[in-house]
Structure 1
Amino acid sequence: MGIDVKLFLAGFCIAHTQGFNVGTAGAKIFSGPAVEEFGYTVQQISNDQGKWMLVGSPWSGYPQNRKGNIYKCDLNASRRAPCQKLNLADSISIEGVQSINVNMSLGLTLTPIAKPNTLMTCGPLWAQRCGSQYFYPGVCAEVSPQFTLQPAFSPAIQSCGGPMDVAIVLDGSNSIYPWPDVRNFLIKLLENLDIGPDKTRVSIIQYSEDLSFLYPFSSDKNKDKVLSAASGIEQKTGEETNTFEALDYVRQTAFLPENGGRPGATKVLVVVTDGESTDGHKGQEVIERCKRDGIVRFGIAILKQSADIQKFIKEIELIASTPTENYMFNVSSEQALINIAGTLGDRIFNIEGTSQGQEFQLEMSQVGFSAHQTNKKDVIMLGAVGAYGWSGTVVHHTAGKPHIFLKNAFEKTLDDRNHSSLLGYSVTSVSDGSSEFFVAGAPRAVHRGQVIVYSVNSQNQPIIVVCGLQIGSYFGSVLCPVDVNADGVTDLLLVGAPMYMSEEKSETGRVYLFTITEGILSHQGVLEGPSASENARFGTAITAVPDLNLDNFSDVVVGAPLEGNGQGNGQGAIYIYYGDRKTIRKQSSQVEHTNNFIYIYIYIYIYIYVCVCVCVCVCIIHR
């Protein structure tokens, strides 16, 4: 089933009347694939070619690749004119970054910015590859009035760690057998490292009674040539296993500049051996020297029945950095080495790539999950729900420069022990006339959801936090400021809790009203919406619209996208609420059902050359 975007010419009504005020006859319909989430976001712009509606389709490419897309729809075209794909996702790239332009969901956000007729779109699941790891920092870019994508930016882009010099020390004594299995392990490990002149460099050393440099850091830094050299390494052989003598020699010589070592690079040593060394008495002294030189050490033990297992394990534990569970591996045979190569490569990368193996910071931040241009037009707010282990945060993008709020800015407020607040799921701003305040929703905070109001000051501390009343209601997933009388002051902040459950155990949904005084929110009741028996998810989307009933006050539209689904008719509904001085009436003036449009309802009110798009869509809500 395609999703239709409907365009209606509003009827003219007498001020303060309660009659229907949005006409549904003669609709202009734009259709797109339902599986692509066509219509998830909608905005209107004008250019020298006419008036257009841009429609986000964040799952475009499904099921193979949800890279996302944006359609342009000509508002002057015939009644059922097709929309055209802009194919902007293919243009996303950031210099010096290995971009993974798949499943990015471009078009999930689509918001106007300060530049005339210019929009910003984001793909919060845009991925970046660092070595063998994939991060999801998210990406955003401006869309010009001519529908071209401007240079993309990603505030949470990862550096893929600093330069790293990795010395791989292989036991080549006679007891290592079969040697091709060790060689296969080496190749697989190298494939998982981000090898390059300014990235990871590798030195390969083999030892038994003495030591041989097979591939110093100063050799070619091209990954393919390193792999080619590794595939030809033959076993050294020998009766003795002088492990610590080899490690001390590597410590002293391998990392020197004349051998290709870099002064600022992280030093990493990987040793693979199958038994107790013949020079174990030197172990403690050699490892202390390695520690003083700042060398990170991985120990891989091949456990065999012929070895004194307990003594051998203690020796490998001595070699490995702490905590040993992160830096020590053991396998039962040479053949089993290949099973740990990928994990070992990831852990080597993690030394620089993910805060040394600790919890994620900004690697999975998904910047652009929500977006908002502030009233003063100098800050673009971007939600980053995946930051800090999915506690979430907010990014302020000002004059092309991002400011990411650190974990401690909201940590005490969220008290997010389970890392699931999703702060930044929704973002907006409000004004009391003299000051602007920023607002961010965290629908899973303390299980009930929170709305955080804050200003940018020396402490960057939240001013106030308002919590939801019901567990699982997703309070704060939708935010809508309303300036009812158009005086530049935010009269109300509407907060959606679309999964609020009624006493009849239905996900009816609820919308809360708050007034704002010096950044302080005061509860003013709720909007009257669907019956308590409806699984409507009322409040899934909320938007303010210009005056519909000609009383000089702005009005509000609220979506209930699942209303009527229980009867199998797939209707959904939107509710219209009139503005009244500095508030809105809690009883709706009109409820409009539209058959078969579960995901989206678009009403565009046209009055005196002003066109405003209103989109109500189902959000993908992860419980």
Structure 2
Amino acid sequence: DNMRLGLSLATNPKDNSFLACSPLWSHECGSSYYTTGMCSRVNSNFRFSKTVAPALQKAKSQTDSTLLTDATIDLQVHFEVTNIINIVDISSTLGIEPFLQVGVVQYGEDAVHEFHLNDYRSVRDVVEAASHIEQRGGTETRTAFGIEFARSEAFQKGGRKGAKKVMIVITDGESHDSPDLEKVIQQSERDNVTRYAVAVLGYYNRRGINPETFLNEIKYIASDPDDKHFFNVTDEAALKDIVDALGDRIFSLEARTNKNETSFGLEMSQTGFSSHVVEVRTVHS
């Protein structure tokens, strides 16, 4: 309805045809839309003879995204309500197959697959599966172990060859195996795993504890630059507030060739704002 066909026109006096362009034409790519524009040739009998969309790019990028959640997180009464909603909302925001797969791993002393990347093919199925996740608890937060488990197993079980690898780490406290972080982060870098890290500060705020050491650790876990990959929220209920921003940043990875680039370039180009007929062809921009 908002194509605005004819926003720019160019006539060809040689055959009485003309070109009508619609710079607002868009096409779907997963859960998002590219507004790339298109132009159509119309002959002297007012029939469409050819459609061109030079800025059109196929939505062929794939992303495998693993959510790594802290099973020992001190969510009190908030866990069943907010953390599950957080997982569900991230899944719903990003969209599922064929462009994105979502898996969930919960970790403490050990790590467990709640579901694998290729277990569910629709948002509805992911939402249903996430609604049944229960907090496993534990006495230790082995974040380095959880990251290594997700890197070495989660992306192998259901991961797709050539797909971008994204890991989302959600925790509310310092790890008990922090000396191992350097090694597992290096291994994640080697495997081109883009890491988003979320620090939940509820435990620190409720007890008046300085979170500086914790925040530095979570920033270290996140891929560079920190301002694109690191999040911190004041408490568990605020997890929901970061879902849209997180979804947008992961979506932006689809268009990039380098794993840590986070903005679009020519992927958002449009055509059809102006058009001109030259001697042997039509030029549109």
Q: With the length of structure 2 as denominator, give the TM-score of the two structures.
A: 0.88
Deviation at 1:333, TM superposition (A): 1.2
Deviations 1:242-277 (A, max 9, x none): 111111011111111xx1111211111111111111
Distance in 2, Cα, partners of 1:124 & 1:264: 32
Deviation at 1:146, TM superposition (A): 4.4
Match of 1:260, SS state, is coil
The residue type equivalent to 1:156 in the other structure is A
Determine whether 1:191 maps to 2:95.
Answer: no
Aligned pair in 2 of structure 1 residues 114, 227: CA closer, same or farther (>3 Å)?
farther
Q: Equivalences for 1:84-483 in 2 at 5 Å?
A: 102=2, 104-113=3-12, 116-131=15-30, 133-150=32-49, 152-160=51-59, 162-173=61-72, 175-177=74-76, 178-179=78-79, 180-197=81-98, 199-256=99-156, 259-304=157-202, 305=204, 306=207, 308-353=210-255, 356-358=261-263, 360-363=265-268, 365-375=269-279, 377=280, 379-383=281-285
Aligned pair in 2 of structure 1 residues 118, 166: CA closer, same or farther (>3 Å)?
same
C-alpha contact (below 8 Å) 2:148/2:184 kept by paired residues: yes
Aligned pair in 2 of structure 1 residues 322, 147: CA closer, same or farther (>3 Å)?
same
Identity %: 34
Per chain length, whose mean CA-contact separation is higher, i.e. which structure has more relative contact order (CA < 8 Å, sep 6+)? 2
Match of 2:69, SS state, is strand
Higher strand share: 1
Distance in 2, Cα, partners of 1:142 & 1:354: 32
Deviations 1:82-123 (A, max 9, x none): xxxxxxxxxxxxxxxxxxxx2x32111222348844322111
Aligned pair in 2 of structure 1 residues 169, 362: CA closer, same or farther (>3 Å)?
closer
Distance in 2, Cα, partners of 1:230 & 1:106: 43
C-alpha contact (below 8 Å) 2:24/2:35 kept by paired residues: yes
Deviations 1:16-42 (A, max 9, x none): xxxxxxxxxxxxxxxxxxxxxxxxxxx
Stretch of structure 1 that moved more, 306-315 or 240-249: 306-315
Aligned pair in 2 of structure 1 residues 115, 194: CA closer, same or farther (>3 Å)?
farther
Deviation at 1:168, TM superposition (A): 0.9
The residue type equivalent to 2:274 in the other structure is S
Deviations 1:562-620 (A, max 9, x none): xxxxxxxxxxxxxxxxxxxxxxxxxxxxxxxxxxxxxxxxxxxxxxxxxxxxxxxxxxx
Match of 2:124, SS state, is helix
C-alpha contact (below 8 Å) 1:159/1:353 kept by paired residues: no
Deviations 1:370-407 (A, max 9, x none): 111212x2x21012xxxxxxxxxxxxxxxxxxxxxxxx
Match of 1:267, SS state, is strand
The CA RMSD over aligned residues, in Å, is 2.2
Aligned pair in 2 of structure 1 residues 220, 362: CA closer, same or farther (>3 Å)?
closer
Aligned pair in 2 of structure 1 residues 181, 143: CA closer, same or farther (>3 Å)?
same
Deviation at 1:343, TM superposition (A): 0.6
Cross-structure match for 1:9: none
Q: Which ranges of structure 2 fall in alignment gaps of 5 or more residues? A: none
Match of 2:20, SS state, is strand
Aligned pair in 2 of structure 1 residues 361, 254: CA closer, same or farther (>3 Å)?
same
Count of residue pairs the alignment pairs up: 276
C-alpha contact (below 8 Å) 1:193/1:349 kept by paired residues: yes
The residue type equivalent to 1:295 in the other structure is V
Q: Which ranges of structure 1 fall in alignment gaps of 5 or more residues? A: 1-66, 68-101, 384-623
Deviations 1:173-231 (A, max 9, x none): 1513311201111111112214213x111111111221111111221322322222223
Aligned pair in 2 of structure 1 residues 201, 367: CA closer, same or farther (>3 Å)?
same
The residue type equivalent to 1:271 in the other structure is V
Q: With the length of structure 1 as denominator, give the TM-score of the two structures.
A: 0.42
Match of 2:39, SS state, is strand
The residue type equivalent to 1:312 in the other structure is F
C-alpha contact (below 8 Å) 1:299/1:320 kept by paired residues: yes
The residue type equivalent to 1:261 in the other structure is G
